[in-house]
Structure formats: C-alpha cells, structure tokens
Structure 1
Amino acid sequence: MRNLFASALSIVLCTALVLTGCGGGSNSSKGTEDVQKPIVLRLASDAPLEHIATGLNNGAAEKVKERTNGRVEIQYFPASQLGSYETVYEEIVRGSIDIAQITVPDALDPRLGAAYLPYYATSFEEAEILYAPDSYMSQVFKDLTAANNVRFLGWVLEGFIGMGVVKDPTDVMEPGTNKGIKLRSPGLATFRYVQEDLGYNPITITYAEVPTAIQTKVVDGWIGGTPNMNYAWVGEIIKKMYVNYLHAEATCYVMSEKSLAKLSEEDQAILIEVFEEHSVQSFKDAKANEDVYKGKLRDDYGVEVVELTEEELSKNAEFVREVTWTRLEEVLTPELIEGFRSEVEKL
C-alpha cells in the first residue's frame, strides 16, 4: 500500500513538473505578451496626402499612442484607401472600421446632410461659432450618429467649398439664373438642391470619379472641394475656381461605439480628448490653409481664383437661405431648419 501511495505521489509530482516546465511558464509569458500588445484601430479618410486633414489625423494618431503609453495605436488610411465615405460610414456602424474623418452620408438618416447646409456659415469666424463643440449643429450630430451606434467626436473644418470649372458659367454672380453648365454634385440633397436653385445642372458623381468626369466632359466642373482639395485633386485640370463660400467643408470625426468599447475607460477618455483637441485645432488652421492653397492654385497651375465680394456673397446667402432652406425642410425637417435659422440670427 505504501509503495502504491509512493508511486502515485511520484506520478503527481512528475506531472506537475512537466506542466510547470512545458505549459505553465509559457502560458504565463503569453499572458504578459497579451497584456502588453497594443490595441490597433484603423482611421479612414478621403483626404489626400497633401491636405490639412491628413496633418491633423497623423498628429492625432501620434498623440493617442504617446498619451496611452503605447496601449492604443492608430493606423491612418488616407485618400479613400478603405473606400468612399458612404462605404466607410457603413463600416463604422458595423465596427469593422474604427474611426473616420469623413463626410457623414445621409443614407441612414436624411438629416445627416445638415452638416452641409448651404450658406449656414459665410466666414471662418461664423463657422467657429456655428460648428463649435457646444453648438446646435454639434448637438444635432451627436444625437443623430448615436442612433447609429456611432460616437461623434467633433468637426474638422477643412475650409470652404467652392466651384472648380473648365467652362465658365453665365451670369455667375446672379442667383437663380440659368448658368448653362453641368456640375458634379455629391448625392446629398443639401448639395443638389442649392445647385438647382442657383441655376446649375447638378450631376451626382462620387468623389473618386471627379477628375475623370471633368476630363471626359461628363461635367464642366465640380462643387465639393476647398482650395486645398481642388489643388490636390484637380489642380492640373480646372481653369478657374470660384471661392463662393457655398458650404463649410466641415467633415466629422466619428468612431464606432463597438471599437470604443474595446478600450479601457482611461484610454477612451484619452482618445476622445485627443480628437476633440484636433477638431478645435482645425478651426485655427483652416483660414491660413485656405489662403495658402488659393495662392498655390494660381502659382503652380495657373488657375484663376475668383472671390465673391461681400455684397455678392450676402446676396447669394440671402437667396439660398430663403429659397433652398425652405425647400430643404422636407428633407431635414422644419424643426431642424428652424433651429438653424435661430442660430444664424444670433450671429
């Protein structure tokens, strides 16, 4: 019996030694590696490499890694590498892309087109107020994106959208007259309606196809880009750019709630803070960036840059706020339009 007990004890001890030597130590080491392995998040953007947003996005990625002590890393994919903004937002909703700096499409809710309400802001000073973190517009987007299980992190003011053309429109400063040209438009009603009301013929074409569409004369120009974007995307193609302040190019920082939930509470707070900081920074940088690229369009590509006078700008803004905004009530709802009118009246 004693010999049997001794044999059994010997087997147990040997088994324990084997597990410790071959399995236990290795698992412990693996566990340490898992804890130290960073969480990698993907950040998607339409912005090309030479663009204000790319600088902001790279800076945000660096800060997140630094402030989380390497626990969170962000891989940046510019220039629509992960798809168009429509596709990217769908992936953000699903959680298969983590963060994006994009135009939020209105496919899931037409009210999401409100970011591009034409002539909502007519200057950088107004945009800084109307798209501020505590603004009516920001609260609207926090609520609308939350319904898609998406966290709104702030606006990126890239500048103001104007019109790049290869064929000159007629009577360009007079709203409501037939301009005689076809312009590329995004699918958003906030873009299409205003072009129709001003007298243009909008043709819905995706962002990625803009250069080809202009070169093959499918359209005579496009609306959808700041001076920076016109320079980077179609600078060699267009002949003239009208800086008419039609839309503030205020893209969004948005993040999947599924991705945010992967982080500790501490790292969630760090990431949110970093992107809020870079949102605010964009408003400080946008005006200087706009001026630089108006000059580069002229100097590098010989593009004629036409800027509206204050009188011309005011005339167009008043027309659009009366005609187009009223028409957009059917898409954005009368309640939202009333709220936007109220905010403009406070300026």
Structure 2
Amino acid sequence: MKTTKTRFCLKSILASSLVMGALATTSAEAATVLRIASQHAPDQYASEVLRDIKKELEGAGVDLKIKLYPAGQLGSGEQLLGEAVRGSIDIVHSFVYSHKDPVLEINSLPYLVSNYDEMEKVFSPGSNFYSIFDQRMDKIGLKLLGVTAEGFIGVMSSSTPDNYKDTGAKGQNIRVWSAQSAKLATQDMGYNTTTIDWGDAFPAIQQGVVDGMIGATPEATYTTFKEAIKNYVPYNAFVENYAYYASKKTWEKKLNEEQRKVVSEVFAKAAAKFVDWSRQNDAANLKKLEEFGVAILPISDAERGAIAQEIRNVTWPKLEDRLGKDVLQQITADLN
C-alpha cells in the first residue's frame, strides 16, 4: 500500500513538473526579444540610460525581453541603420546618417540651435524639425522614438584665433569633418578648413598640421584632446545628437499595440532627459578644461546669437539644393 502511494505521488510530482515546465517554456517563448544596438561605450551616460530602459521595458509586464549591444558591437552607425531597415536589428541608438536620404542631414545643420532652450524645443516632438525628421525616417523604413541631444560643439585650438567673437577671419586652419554643412559653416565663421578623420585629429593638432579643430563637445575635448590645445571657444555651432529609432518591420509585425505603447513612452521619457544632462555635462567639462589649463575664451549669448544668425543667413541658403528650401524655411520657423 505504501509503495503504491509512493508511486502515485511520484507520478503526480512528475506530471506537475512537466506541466510547470511546459508553462515556463510557453511563457519564455511568448516573450518578444528585442535586439537594441548602440554606438556608445558602456561607461557613457547614454549606455547607462539604455540599461535603465532595459529594466523598464522588461518590468512593464508586456512580455518584452531586451538584449543590449553597446559600443558598436553590431557595426557602425551606417551599418546599424541598414540592419534596422532590414529588420535584423530591432532598435538603435546612434547618429542618423544621411546616406539613404540627404534631407536627414538636417541633424547636422550649423546653428540649428544655439542654446539649451532652443535645443529642448527643436529636438522634441511638436517642432517642425522633429516632424520632418520623423517623416523622412518613416520613408526609409524606420520609426523615430526620440532624439537625444548630447552636447554642444565648439572650436579648440593651439593658439588664440583672431576675431573669435564674430565671423571675421580667424587666421587659423582647423580640422573639420567631411559633411558639406560643416565645411561651409566653419569657413563662413572665418576659419580655413582641412578635412581630417577623427582618429588623426589629435596628432594633426599636436604636430601643427592644423591649428585646431571643430567637432567635439566639451566632454570629448577634455577626454581626448586637452593635452594638444590651449584654447576652446564654446560657439555651440553644432549639436552632438543621436536618435532612438526602431525598425518598422519590428514595429509593425513583431510588437503588439500594448508593447508599442510602452516602448514609445519609455524611449520618449529617456530622450527628454538629455537636454538637462547636456547642460550640466557641458558646464562640468568646461570647468575641467579650465582646471587643466585650457583657456575657455569668453563669448556672450548676444555674440553667439549674432554668429548663429549670420550662419543661418549665409550658410543655410548654400544647402538649399541638398535639403530643400521649404524644409529650411520650416526649421527656421521653429526658432521664431
């Protein structure tokens, strides 16, 4: 009798275990796995935010499982964009390149914004810039989830430029990246320019090949270039900006309505935090540069605003053929 009861109990336990295992397997299979790739190093603020996003999405109770791939593990920014269009990567946090649509280069417009209030307005849903960016990304198969503004870009140099408070000739030749908008704007600001890759910029400044460079936030200037320079002008000429975006194939075929709502809300909230972080991070790193011995050449809001207006008046028309006159007019309206 005891043996029979024992066998019965064992069979019951085994049956219960199989049922529970089947339920667990079904639950695991039900979870939607999202591959999220980024360009930021694991110790950067943006990566910290992505880790928080992972926790929020997985804890939202909508059956999402997140796999993070930071620091370009799945490819360059251009490659990530292509893979997202194809649907092999679900969500990306990276700079949006314009190789699939030249109008996307509006994210590299010189003096698109010149202060943090403008930054918050223009890079948020509701602005003309955001609407145009959203529409153009949609056309190539991507769903915009948010724009992250990660700091203003100024000019660093190994000597003091002439006329640095206006657009007069600076008497300097500085490194610029390959975008046409960057070349034109820097020249219209009064600098001579030479195109040099980021990785070659430090030795180029140190060896006197160029007098300085444009293309780095205060943070990047401090962490990478401080030993090679003597001055930094916080022109706020460009914004170091990235975007959260999803594959439309993922958005439309892989996620249900409840999951899409959660993903939209979580990424929008994360993107909205970046302006305040940029304001604090830029200020903190300008202070670090000063403490290291790099002179922060003073420029007032009025002087910076005058330079910004001149670049919009002089440089932007040169970009009409590439970006469209109507597009530039709509973006200009954001600043009024």
TM-score range, shorter chain: 0.7 to 0.9
The 8 Å contact of residues 157 and 286 in structure 1, kept in 2 or not, is answered as yes
Distance 1:237 1:266 in 2: 52
1:1-347 aligned within 5 A: 32=26, 34-35=28-29, 39-45=33-39, 47-68=40-61, 71-78=64-71, 80-177=72-169, 179-185=171-177, 187-207=178-198, 209-211=200-202, 213-215=204-206, 219-260=210-251, 261-299=253-291, 301-345=292-336
Spell out, residue by residue over 1:253-278, the C-alpha distance to the aligned partner (whole angstroms, 9 max, x if none). Answer: 11211233323332222112111001
Spell out, residue by residue over 1:32-75, the C-alpha distance to the aligned partner (whole angstroms, 9 max, x if none). Answer: 26525551412212x34454423323322222222246632141
Structure 2 counterpart of 1:41, which letter? R
Distance 1:258 1:205 in 2: 37
Q: Which range is displaced more, 318-327 or 162-171?
A: 162-171
- Name 2:12's counterpart in structure 1: none
SS in 2 for 1:67: coil
Query: How far is 1:113 from its partner?
Result: 0.9
- Name 2:4's counterpart in structure 1: none
SS in 2 for 1:73: strand
Change beyond 3 A, Cα 1:338–1:69: closer
Structure 2 counterpart of 1:42, which letter? I
Change beyond 3 A, Cα 1:221–1:329: same
Spell out, residue by residue over 1:113-141, the C-alpha distance to the aligned partner (whole angstroms, 9 max, x if none). Answer: 11122122221112111222111111001
The 8 Å contact of residues 142 and 152 in structure 1, kept in 2 or not, is answered as yes
SS in 2 for 1:252: strand
Q: Which portions of structure 1, spanning 4 or more consecutive aligned residues, are displaced by more than 6 angstroms? A: 24-27
- Quick one: percent identity of the two aligned structures? 26
- Name 1:5's counterpart in structure 2: none
The 8 Å contact of residues 115 and 250 in structure 1, kept in 2 or not, is answered as yes
Provide the aligned length of Structure 1 versus Structure 2: 319
Could you tell me the TM-score, scaled by structure 2's length?
0.83
Structure 2 counterpart of 1:337, which letter? L
The 8 Å contact of residues 173 and 194 in structure 2, kept in 1 or not, is answered as no
Distance 1:284 1:36 in 2: 38
Structure 2 counterpart of 1:73, which letter? I
Q: CA RMSD in A?
A: 2.9
Unpaired runs of 5+ in structure 1? 1-20
Unpaired runs of 5+ in structure 2? 1-14
Could you tell me the TM-score, scaled by structure 1's length?
0.81
Distance 2:61 2:202 in 1: 40
Query: How far is 1:204 from its partner?
Result: 3.7
